[in-house]
Amino acid sequence: MRRGMMVCVLGALLPWTANAQNATALQGRYQARLDDAVARGLVYLASQQLDEAAAQQLGQPQLAGSFQTAAVPGNTGITSLAVMAFLAKGHLPGRGRYGRVINRGIDYVLSQQLDNGLLVCQLNAGRTTGLMYEHSIATLLLCEVSGMVDGKRQQQIDQVLPRALLVLLQAQKVPRSDEKTGGWRYTPGTTDSDLSLTGWSIMALRAARLNGAAIPDEHIEMAVSYILNCHRQDGGFAYMPSRPASSTAMTGIGVLCLELCGEHGSDELTAAGHYILARPPRMTDAGGRPQNFRYYAFYYCGQAMFQLGGRQWQEFAPLMYDALLADQKADGSWSYPDGAFRYNTSYPTALAILTLTVSARQLPIYQREE
């Protein structure tokens, strides 16, 4: 190699090397505290799963394997988030300390598919809101564990998952106005869309693709078009194309969705990263009142900034780690104050663990293209 060419190559490698060293130093600074917090969180989360005896005592034996929630018993989305929290720390189905917990959760989700393909708790099938949240997150879980489980469970996944994915693909194709086309909303047949629900659906489809499912390109292209309709001039993303105001949580969702769809290095992503750093999620508002969506915001922004990497991640990660580590309760849980939100501790605890473990890359959905 000629000297001039070697200098150019070394010059190109230096920023990457510096970023890698900075990332390693950052992780080393927090790793012991993160390991302790996640370990205590998983102990708590395991205590919130209904085993067969507990479900019988409630008079609802069909809820065995689900994780307790305050408002919507048996929510498949929350159970799926809880199971993914164990997977994100490297625990596997049927093996080790939490093998039975993970298997019970997977079995519960598999048992709840409706005749129309939706993966929602059969007790809650009559609801008109939130069904696609449950379904998208449950579909994401099954994509993540496919290939990890024993032969019997894999056969069940192979039967359930294609029908679940078809629900997502068909729901996206429901005729909508131009600005709403490409997204998802609370129920499969709706003609509306929002960025929050679209984020979970895209994660499920991306996980399916990673697992070898034939997801047509047009569905990804439609999603990207919808997401960009939510982009605003201040660099952020709004909840819907019709909403003028952007928000930090929605910006995190927008960045993550675009990254997962392969839209790397765009001007929109650069601007959105600056937006999140300038307006990071907070545990409380300006008046000191707890923010109801703080765990959700940290989860999405944490994943988004990890995908962006480099300076964006190095500046954001300490803010995220400090906020979540300080907010953990003595029993290992994270929770909303005084029942301020609809769900109890299983939901925020699972989200917090998934956020704190994003850089461990144990789940395929957390992988980052280098």
The H helix count followed by the E strand count for the chain is 13, 2
CB 105 within 8 A of CB 51: no
* Segments of the chain scoring below 70 in pLDDT: 1-23, 70-72, 125, 128, 337-343, 369-370
The pLDDT value given to residue 288? 81
Give the helix/strand (H/E) hosting 159. helix 151-172
> 269-324: per-residue pLDDT in tens?
999 999 999 999 998 888 888 777 889 999 999 999 999 999 999 999 999 999 99
- What are the start-end ranges of the E strands in 53-206? none
CA angle 302/201/245 to nearest 5° reads 60
The pLDDT value given to residue 284? 84
The pLDDT value given to residue 247? 96
The pLDDT value given to residue 21? 61
**Over the Cα atoms of the chain, what is R_g?**
20
CB 246 within 8 A of CB 233: no
> What is the C-alpha to C-alpha distance for residues 303 and 268, in angstroms, rounded to an integer?
17
The pLDDT value given to residue 153? 98
The pLDDT value given to residue 72? 63
> 138-175: per-residue pLDDT in tens?
999 999 999 999 999 999 999 999 999 999 999 999 99
> What is the C-alpha to C-alpha distance for residues 102 and 100, in angstroms, rounded to an integer?
5
What phi and psi values does residue 247 have, to the nearest 5 degrees?
A: -145, 160
For residue 104, give both structure tokens: 């019970």
CB 335 within 8 A of CB 44: no
The pLDDT value given to residue 342? 54
> What is the C-alpha to C-alpha distance for residues 161 and 63, in angstroms, rounded to an integer?
20
CB 186 within 8 A of CB 128: yes
> What is the C-alpha to C-alpha distance for residues 184 and 195, in angstroms, rounded to an integer?
8
Give the helix/strand (H/E) hosting 238. strand 237-238
Domains of the chain by start residue, with CATH: 46-366 (1.50.10.20)
> What is the C-alpha to C-alpha distance for residues 171 and 197, in angstroms, rounded to an integer?
12
